[in-house]
Chain A
Amino acid sequence: DTAVSQTPKYLVTQMGNDKSIKCEQNLGHDTMYWYKQDSKKFLKIMFSYNNKELIINETVPNRFSPKSPDKAHLNLHINSLELGDSAVYFCASTQTAGNTEAFFGQGTRLTVV
């Protein structure tokens, strides 16, 4: 069983569309994250939820909205997609908010055309 799974793995869409990426973890962790990795491999944290509560919200356009229906799921919805949103998006989880080992999903490669 995959510990942190994301769907879809690849997503190609046109500018202006709205899309969602889903993430689920079966580790029983309390805290989940979204990271964005750009074309130069730079990883930047976007959001973090602890037990369904938003605890980290970095400077991200408000077109990006995370949603955590329960502590095992953290979805990312993106409105009005732009070319610059093209990147690989990684979901991750840690046992608690202060825990130090993050488990990452395989990533979702988003391409906006």
Chain B
Amino acid sequence: AQSVTQLDSQVPVFEEAPVELRCNYSSSVSVYLFWYVQYPNQGLQLLLKYLSGSTLVKGINGFEAEFNKSQTSFHLRKPSVHISDTAEYFCAVSETSSASKIIFGSGTRLSIRP
């Protein structure tokens, strides 16, 4: 069975500073990887996904993530954050053979300071 670990429950960052949200996964088979964002009192929205091919994937709102198979990581990055990026970010994984079941990490709250 697969699992996802987001080590940082909260990440405070100053506006216009870079940010990295860490995600590690565990699985005995090949996986798809995702980052979702949840703004306050809203549902989840897909930021980006890795299915295959290039290990660097770009998403919406200037975010990108890099798949590192040897380190089983899929860290999310943004070079310069804005106040509007304040939200909860979820890393998620699903097995390629059974993509129906998306397993989410515990989330990282990104708070932007002016």
Could you tell me the distance in whole angstroms from the C-beta of A83 to the nearest C-beta in chain B?
A: 22
Q: Which residues from A are CB-within-8-Å of B32?
A: 100
| Chain A residues within an 8 Å CB radius of B46 | 101-102
* A-binding residues in B (CB < 8 A): 32, 34, 38, 41-46, 49, 51, 88, 90, 94, 98-104, 106-107, 109
Interchain pairs with CB closer than 8 A, number: 58
Q: How big is the A interface, by class? A: 20 to 34
Distance in angstroms from A4 CB to nearest chain B CB is: 7
Contact A41–B88 (Cβ < 8 Å) = yes
List 12 additional contacts besides A98-B98, A102-B46; criterion CB under 8 Å.
A41-B88, A42-B104, A42-B106, A43-B44, A45-B102, A48-B101, A56-B100, A56-B101, A101-B49, A102-B102, A104-B44, A107-B43
